[in-house]
Amino acid sequence: AQSVTQLGSHVSVSEGALVLLRCNYSSSVPPYLFWYVQYPNQGLQLLLKYTTGATLVKGINGFEAEFKKSETSFHLTKPSAHMSDAAEYFCAVSAYRIQGAQKLVFGQGTRLTINP
C-alpha cells in the first residue's frame, strides 16, 4: 500500500524565514504526489502536485517542492514565510497506480505557525 509520512506535526518559523515541511512517501511504483493547504474553517486547496517530468514543482503562493526518488521525499519549501501562510499542510499520494482508484492517501498534516 502507498503511504506518506509527514515529519513534524507542528512547525514554527519567523516571518521572512525559510519554510520547510517534510514529507516522505512509501510506494512500490512511481508515485503521484500532492501538497494541499487547509486554512482555518476552510476546505483543502491544492498547492502543487508531482506526476512525471521535472522533479522541482512550483506551486501557488511561492511554494515549491522537489521530488527525490533516492530519498523517497517530497518536501515543501518557501523561501520567505508570510503571516498568511499560517495553516495546516497535508502531503498526499494518489492510490491510482496501485489500486486504480483516484483516492488520495493523506499524511497526518503539519500545522505551520508564523511568528511576527
Partner 1 sequence: DSGVTQTPKHLITATGQRVTLRCSPRSGDLSVYWYQQSLDQGLQFLIQYYNGEERAKGNILERFSAQQFPDLHSELNLSSLELGDSALYFCASSVDISGGTDTQYFGPGTRLTVL
Under DSSP, the state recorded for 62 is G
Contact status, residue 21 vs residue 107, Cβ threshold 8 Å: no
Identify which range of 18-26, 46-54, 60-68, 78-86 contacts partner 1 by CB under 8 A: 46-54
* Beta bridge mates, 16: none
Q: Any contact of residue 90 with partner 1 (CB under 8 A)?
A: yes
Q: Any contact of residue 43 with partner 1 (CB under 8 A)?
A: yes
36 vs 63 by CB, closer to partner 1: 36
CA distances from 65 to 7, 32, 116 (A): 15, 13, 25
Of positions 45, 55, 61, 80, contacts partner 1 by CB under 8 A: 45
Contact status, residue 24 vs residue 69, Cβ threshold 8 Å: no
Query: CB 93 → partner 1: shortest distance, Å?
Result: 10
Q: Any contact of residue 49 with partner 1 (CB under 8 A)?
A: yes
Neighbours of 75 (CB within 10 A): 19
Gap between the Cα atoms of 76 and 65, Å rounded: 4
Identify which range of 10-18, 19-27, 65-73, 92-100 contacts partner 1 by CB under 8 A: 92-100
73 vs 94 by CB, closer to partner 1: 94
